[in-house]
Amino acid sequence: MKIRDVMTPNPRTVSPNDTIQTAARVMQTEDTGAVPVVTDGRVLAVVTDRDIAVRVVAQGGSASGPVSDVATRGVICATPDMSTREAADLMAEHQVRRLPVVEADRLVGIVSIGDLAVKEGKDSRIGDTLQSISEGVKETI
């Protein structure tokens, strides 16, 4: 199965200059824990609920600062034609739960560990990979 079959197309995004509060509101309205930070359709970073909790709330910071101050750079991305197995392996290797999906350097979707679990949960190799991601991420929290 391909990523294009399981991804969420055209996810909501924020720009680097949007406020942290704006990103948090997007997360709330879209019921997601991550929002791509995009300029001209290109993914520059991803801001997660954990980024906000650890880099703002825990530090007593302000949500009025730019999202670029807290977003995670060096984003690992998937492509629409990548197999779900490849995406699961990429998530495991980099210990991430979500991958922006890009085509010709433009954001076209986002895929989460949950998307893979729902669509590919019967494949024991993918299930094992997803479990290792969850365990690895828990250790970093």
Q: What is the band of 132 on the pLDDT scale with cuts at 50, 70, 90?
A: low
Question: Which pTM was predicted?
Answer: 0.84
- Residue 37 CA to residue 2 CA, distance in Å, equals 24
Identity at 101, one-letter amino acid code: V
70-128, pLDDT tens digit by residue?
999 999 999 999 999 999 999 999 999 999 999 999 999 999 998 888 766 555 566 66
3-state SS class at 68: helix
| CATH number for position 28 | 3.10.580.10
Domain count across the chain: 1
Beta bridge pairs of residue 22: none
pLDDT confidence of residue 128 = 66
26-63, pLDDT tens digit by residue?
999 999 999 999 999 999 999 999 999 999 999 999 99
Residues 99/43, Cβ–Cβ less than 8 Å:
no
Residues 75/16, Cβ–Cβ less than 8 Å:
no
Q: Which domain holds residue 90?
A: 3-140
pLDDT confidence of residue 114 = 87
- Residue 95 CA to residue 137 CA, distance in Å, equals 6
Beta bridge pairs of residue 111: 99
Residues 116/87, Cβ–Cβ less than 8 Å:
yes
